[in-house]
Homo-oligomer: A and B are copies of this chain.
Amino acid sequence: MNRMDVTEKIISTKVAKGLRWADVAAQLGRSKEWTTALCLGQMTATAEQAEALGGIFGLNDEEQRWLQVVPSKGSLATAVPTDPLVYRWYEVVNVYGSTLKELIHEEFGDGIMSAIDFSMDIQREADPKGDRVRVVLSGKFLPYKDY
């Protein structure tokens, strides 16, 4: 058994039971973004969180234990994603990558925006011309220092 087996069981159960990630997150008391990433094998649960998920998805002890093991992360099957929704995000990095780099450096100097001390919030933005997806990303700025 490995973490991927647990992820597959969670997804399978979610489809079979018709669950929603937002409801799972509410039961866990965490954001839907982090909770979904956890369920999809990208984050690590505490024992309590694992137990709670165990209740929702019918996971046994060993499966709950795997949720507490730090997973090998990365959810893209290929370097350039083929799924249209995910590709649009890759395209944003491709088209706006140099812009992001220039503007963050202009404001903060040399360094990066952390992808670890990081959170994400996804919301529907009502718009008469068609609703929009609004995603807020927040990451700590980490400066390079000389030494």
Residues of A near any B CB (own CB < 8 A): 1-2, 8, 11-12, 15-16, 18, 20-22, 30-34, 36-38, 40, 42-44, 46, 49, 62, 65-66, 69-70, 72-76, 78-120, 122, 124-125, 127, 129-147
Contacts and interface: CB of A to CB of B under 8 A. Distances in A.
Contact of A142 (B30, B70, B116): B116
Contacts of A42: 95-96, 98-99
* Number of identical protomers: 10
Given A36-B102, A96-B37, A110-B44, A83 B74 contact: yes
Contact of A69 (B15, B82, B129, B143): B15
Nearest to A37: B99
A88 B113 contact: yes
A30 B145 CA distance: 11
Contacts of A138: 125, 132-135
Nearest to A7: B98
A75 B88 contact: no
Given A80-B80, A140-B127, A146 B30 contact: yes
Contacts of A133: 104, 107-108, 113, 138-141
28 contacts: A2-B12, A16-B62, A21-B102, A21-B106, A33-B99, A34-B146, A37-B99, A40-B99, A42-B95, A42-B96, A74-B82, A74-B83, A78-B79, A79-B80, A80-B80, A81-B93, A84-B91, A84-B115, A85-B105, A85-B111, A89-B93, A90-B90, A92-B115, A107-B133, A127-B140, A130-B142, A133-B139, A134-B137
